[in-house]
């Protein structure tokens, strides 16, 4: 299974997720989400595979989120505008994202990883 890991090297949660994948001996393509954020098309695909709402993909605790006052702006934006915004800056995206051709997860909770990727 070809996995893509979108993470940020300085993010503790990303490091935990990466360590989990390595301990389970997953092969994955590592992408620095700050340097190479997913494209709009990739984001649409990942969002669809995850089964999550679009708002779950925003890094609401990030400085960039607060700087742009997105808490106020997001409710009035269209999904296309939100996806375009996410694709424009990887620091706006909640991380890590792990994606395969069949499924995707956002963030890291060990139980969730075990459920989705453990089999």
Over the range 67-97, which residues count as b (16 or more CB within 10 Å of their CB) and which as e? eeebeeebeeeeeeebbebbbebbebbbbbb
Residue 69 has, within 13 A of its CA and on its CB side, a CA count of: 3
Q: What is the CATH number of the domain that holds 39?
A: 3.40.30.10
- Provide the residue range defining the domain that includes 45: 3-117
Q: What is the domain count for the chain?
A: 1
Check residue 79 and give its pLDDT: 97
Per-residue pLDDT of the chain (119 residues; tens, 9 = 90+): 589 999 999 999 999 999 999 999 999 999 999 999 999 999 999 999 999 999 999 999 999 999 999 999 999 999 999 999 999 999 999 999 999 999 999 999 999 999 999 86
Dihedral pair phi/psi, residue 61, rounded to 5°: -95, 0
Check residue 63 and give its pLDDT: 94
pTM of the model: 0.93
Check residue 1 and give its pLDDT: 54
């Amino acid at each position: 299974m070809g996995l893509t890991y979108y993470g940020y090297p300085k993010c503790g949660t990303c490091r935990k997720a990466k360590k989990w994948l390595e301990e389970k001996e997953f092969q994955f393509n590592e992408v620095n989400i700050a340097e190479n954020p997913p494209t709009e098309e990739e984001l649409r695909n990942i969002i669809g595979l995850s089964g999550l709402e679009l708002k779950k993909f925003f890094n609401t605790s990030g400085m960039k989120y607060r700087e742009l006052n997105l808490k106020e702006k997001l409710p009035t934006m269209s999904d296309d505008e939100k996806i375009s915004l996410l694709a424009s800056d990887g620091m706006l995206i909640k991380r890590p994202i792990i994606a395969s051709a069949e499924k995707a997860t956002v963030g890291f909770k060990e139980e969730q990883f075990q459920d989705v990727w453990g089999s």
